[in-house]
């Protein structure tokens, strides 16, 4: 809650004014029963119409003041809640944007989505309710008790005797409710995850006729949410009936005791009427306080989840280090990494690339190809080994500067619901000539030029109104635009025919000669002309060299080439010895 209070601090003056206005409105409400009591006991017996109209007018003025002040205060409370939540949501979104991939993996995307939406909504509701009812209800409660003391202390004592039981009930229920709502939000996270997976994979689900299976999956997580919601709801729902019972018992006692006191002529009928009105006010105030506790239980649980993300420390720290003279642009030196610090995803990987060279990475699915590229872009830090870029340790380069060096197409990359031009430009404000050059090199210009709107053609979310090959070409164009220092293409030609794939590789060699390129592919033909080829299996390096060298020295590569291209190993020739670790080589 400390974080939430920090966001409320700029609005303290406005909140203070709203609380003052709310206070005036509550006082006006408290005056109404007192005026009514005075009229019944003092004014009506005099049978003077002028006095009756005067005090009746005073009641109307008090009622109108209560109405106007409550409306103004509620609008101010809504404004504060809106702007506080807006700032909170903005900072939470910004924080999520800068979380490392390992931190995102730890929280999970559905959980972050839930914190950004439903949790911020709960905080918004709590802030608004605390300003509206959180101010008004205690004033009506305490004010009602104080005024009833002036009317009849004995009857007030009967009423006050019920308050400790009410307070204990509220405390017990709220203490039980907060953990229940934390569990409920965790259940909502799981449901959001299931819905997200279902929507993302809807085509696969329909193609494999797994709709019923997914319905059962959703029914299971939805049932768990309902179970947790029911448990929390039942616990919190006990409050109102129990409070009604206690207050009605108190009200009955007040009426009985009041009847005896009126009969004994120690109190007046007007006081009893006013007392019953104040009792109703106190009852409503207590009911409002229970609703506040219910909403606060949700808001505090959600606020703690938001605070957890906002206070997450950065785990990708920048450590300044001197630049070393090196002829190599990219160096991996004995790099190992594992997700979750368990079984290594890549182990003891070493390679070097000079500026403008091309590295092809090939291997079976799940062998660690994409993980290598994630490490190069410092989406994760390696567990062991070192990566350098242009003679600089990767950990010494500010992340924003580092990421500007890359043009990348991820294996499961996305297009946004915008024009083709904006999807390629991606907020970089590149000149149109550079956009067109990138589109031509990516072999996307042919189909773009045939569209009626050309580059201004509007794409749907994830580019579903394009074919698979067209989407990949637009993504490659996005990576090429801006002329990056390092180009990473992760299985970016899997949906292209061989002719288009060959044209793309030829254009890359001709138009982007100075760009260091890393090609992750399943097809040997895509990396055939790379300066170096890295063969991976289960995260380990099985071969490193040119196409011809690997055909002689790497059985796995020979098998892949034979199955895809019908290429056999060439006659035996002396092969270069396996490279020593870089610390044991002389870097020339």
391 & 294 share domain = no
- Non-local (6+) Cβ contacts of 144 within 8 A are 30, 278, 279, 281, 282, 285
355 & 304 share domain = no
Q: What is the CATH number of the domain that holds 141?
A: 1.20.1560.10
Tell me the pLDDT tens digit for each residue of 413-454.
888 888 999 999 988 889 999 999 999 999 999 899 998 899
pLDDT at 208: 67
pLDDT at 1: 67
The three-state DSSP-derived secondary structure of 103-132 is HHHHHCHHHHHHHHHHHHHHHHHHHHHHHH
User: Could you tell me if residue 429 is inside a domain?
Assistant: no
Interatomic CA distance for residues 311 and 299, integer angstroms:
18
Interatomic CA distance for residues 68 and 464, integer angstroms:
53
Interatomic CA distance for residues 248 and 149, integer angstroms:
19
User: Could you tell me if residue 255 is inside a domain?
Assistant: yes
282 & 396 share domain = no
256 & 383 share domain = no
User: Could you tell me if residue 449 is inside a domain?
Assistant: no
Interatomic CA distance for residues 460 and 140, integer angstroms:
55
* Residue 585 DSSP class: S
Q: Are 30 and 140 in contact (CB under 8 A)?
A: yes
Q: What is the pTM of this model?
A: 0.73
365 & 283 share domain = no
Interatomic CA distance for residues 205 and 208, integer angstroms:
5
For the chain, list residues with pLDDT below 50. Answer: 571-588
Please report where in the chains the tokens 């024009």 appear, as a residue.
419
570 backbone dihedrals φ, ψ, rounded to 5°: -70, 170
261 & 401 share domain = no
Q: Are 283 and 163 in contact (CB under 8 A)?
A: no
Please compute, for residue 376, the number of CA atoms within 13 A of its CA located in the half-sphere on the CB side: 31
Q: Are 460 and 470 in contact (CB under 8 A)?
A: no
Q: What is the CATH number of the domain that holds 371?
A: 3.40.50.300
Q: Are 390 and 326 in contact (CB under 8 A)?
A: yes
For the chain, percent of residues with pLDDT exceeding 70: 95
User: Could you tell me if residue 453 is inside a domain?
Assistant: no
258 & 344 share domain = no
For 67, the token pair is 């109405």
Please report where in the chains the tokens 């219910």 appear, as a residue.
294
Instruction: Single out the residue in 245, 275, 310 at which a domain terminates.
Output: 310
Q: Are 291 and 129 in contact (CB under 8 A)?
A: yes
63 & 142 share domain = yes
Residue 160 CA to its chain's centroid (Å): 46
Instruction: Single out the residue in 278, 310, 342 at which a domain terminates.
Output: 310
Q: Are 233 and 239 in contact (CB under 8 A)?
A: no
355 & 281 share domain = no
Q: What angle do CA 521, 524, 527 make, to 5 degrees?
A: 65
Q: Specify the number of domains making up the chain.
A: 2
Q: Are 145 and 167 in contact (CB under 8 A)?
A: no
Residue 174 CA to its chain's centroid (Å): 27
User: Could you tell me if residue 39 is inside a domain?
Assistant: yes
User: Could you tell me if residue 74 is inside a domain?
Assistant: yes
pLDDT at 570: 57
212 & 256 share domain = yes
Interatomic CA distance for residues 499 and 467, integer angstroms:
17
User: Could you tell me if residue 438 is inside a domain?
Assistant: no
Instruction: Single out the residue in 310, 343, 371 at which a domain terminates.
Output: 310
Q: What letters, b where the CB count within 10 A reaches 16 and e where it falls short, cover 358-396?
A: bbbbbbeeebbbbbbbbbbbbbbebeebebbbbebbbbe
Host H or E run for residue 408? strand 406-409
Interatomic CA distance for residues 98 and 356, integer angstroms:
30
152 & 87 share domain = yes
Q: Are 518 and 361 in contact (CB under 8 A)?
A: yes
Query: What is the side-by-side order of every strand in the sheet holding 384-389?
Result: 346-353, 330-337, 384-389, 392-393
Q: Are 354 and 327 in contact (CB under 8 A)?
A: yes
Host H or E run for residue 331? strand 330-337
State which residues form the domain around 297.
2-310
Q: In Å, how far are 167, 242, 350, 382 from 388, measured between CA atoms?
A: 64, 68, 11, 12
pLDDT at 567: 58
User: Could you tell me if residue 158 is inside a domain?
Assistant: yes
Interatomic CA distance for residues 335 and 346, integer angstroms:
7
Interatomic CA distance for residues 278 and 408, integer angstroms:
70
274 & 399 share domain = no
- Non-local (6+) Cβ contacts of 522 within 8 A are 362, 491, 494
* Residue 419 DSSP class: B
């Amino acid at each position: 809650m400390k974080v939430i209070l920090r966001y409320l601090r700029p609005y303290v003056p406005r909140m203070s004014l709203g609380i003052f206005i709310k206070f005036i409105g509550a006082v006006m409400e408290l005056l109404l029963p007192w005026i009514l009591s005075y009229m019944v006991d003092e004014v009506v017996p005099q049978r003077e119409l002028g006095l009756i109209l005067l005090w009746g007018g005073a009641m109307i003025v008090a009622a109108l003041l209560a109405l106007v002040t409550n409306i103004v205060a509620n609008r101010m409370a809504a404004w504060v809640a809106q702007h506080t939540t807006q700032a909170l949501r903005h900072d939470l979104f910004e924080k999520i944007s800068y979380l490392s991939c390992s931190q995102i993996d730890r929280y999970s995307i559905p959980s972050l989505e839930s914190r950004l939406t439903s949790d911020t909504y709960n905080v918004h509701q709590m802030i608004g309710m605390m300003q509206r009812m959180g101010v008004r209800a205690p004033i009506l409660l305490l004010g009602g008790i104080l005024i009833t003391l002036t009317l009849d202390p004995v009857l007030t004592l009967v009423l006050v005797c019920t308050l400790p039981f009410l307070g204990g009930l509220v405390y017990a229920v709220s203490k039980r409710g907060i953990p229940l709502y934390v569990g409920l939000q965790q259940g909502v996270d799981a449901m959001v995850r299931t819905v997200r997976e279902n929507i993302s994979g809807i085509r696969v689900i329909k193609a494999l006729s797994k709709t019923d299976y997914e319905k059962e999956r959703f029914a299971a997580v939805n049932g768990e949410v309902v179970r947790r919601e029911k448990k929390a709801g039942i616990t919190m729902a006990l409050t109102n009936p129990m409070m009604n019972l206690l207050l009605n018992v108190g009200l009955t006692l007040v009426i009985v005791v009041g009847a005896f006191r009126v009969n004994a002529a120690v109190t007046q009928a007007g006081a009893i009427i006013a007392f019953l009105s104040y009792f109703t006010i106190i009852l409503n105030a207590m009911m409002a306080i229970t609703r506040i506790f219910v909403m606060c239980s949700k808001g505090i649980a959600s606020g703690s989840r938001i605070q957890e993300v906002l206070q997450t420390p950065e785990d990708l720290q920048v450590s300044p280090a001197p630049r070393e003279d090196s002829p190599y642009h990219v160096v991996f030196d004995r790099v190992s990494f594992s997700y979750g610090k368990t079984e290594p995803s890549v182990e003891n990987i070493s390679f070097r690339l000079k500026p403008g060279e091309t590295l092809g990475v090939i291997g079976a699915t799940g062998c660690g190809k994409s993980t290598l590229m994630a490490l190069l872009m410092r989406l994760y830090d390696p567990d062991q080994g070192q990566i350098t870029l242009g003679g600089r340790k990767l950990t010494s380069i500010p992340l924003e500067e580092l990421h500007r060096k890359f043009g990348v197409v991820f294996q499961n990359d996305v297009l946004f619901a915008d024009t083709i031009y904006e999807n390629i430009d991606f907020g970089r404000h590149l000149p149109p000539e550079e956009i067109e050059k990138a589109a031509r090199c990516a072999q996307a210009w042919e189909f773009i030029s045939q569209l009626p709107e050309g580059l201004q053609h509007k794409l749907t979310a994830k580019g579903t109104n394009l074919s698979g090959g067209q989407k990949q070409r637009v993504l490659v164009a996005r990576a090429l635009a801006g002329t990056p220092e390092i180009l990473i293409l992760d299985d970016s030609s899997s949906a292209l025919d061989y002719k288009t794939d060959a044209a793309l590789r030829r254009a890359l060699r001709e138009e982007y000669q100075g760009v260091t390129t890393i090609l992750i592919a399943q097809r040997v033909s895509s990396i055939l002309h790379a300066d170096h080829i890295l063969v991976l299996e289960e995260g380990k390096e099985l071969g490193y060299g040119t196409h011809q060298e690997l055909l002689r020295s790497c059985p796995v590569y020979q098998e892949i080439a034979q199955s895809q291209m019908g290429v056999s190993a060439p006659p035996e020739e002396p092969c270069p010895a396996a490279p020593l670790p870089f610390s044991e080589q002389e870097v020339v």
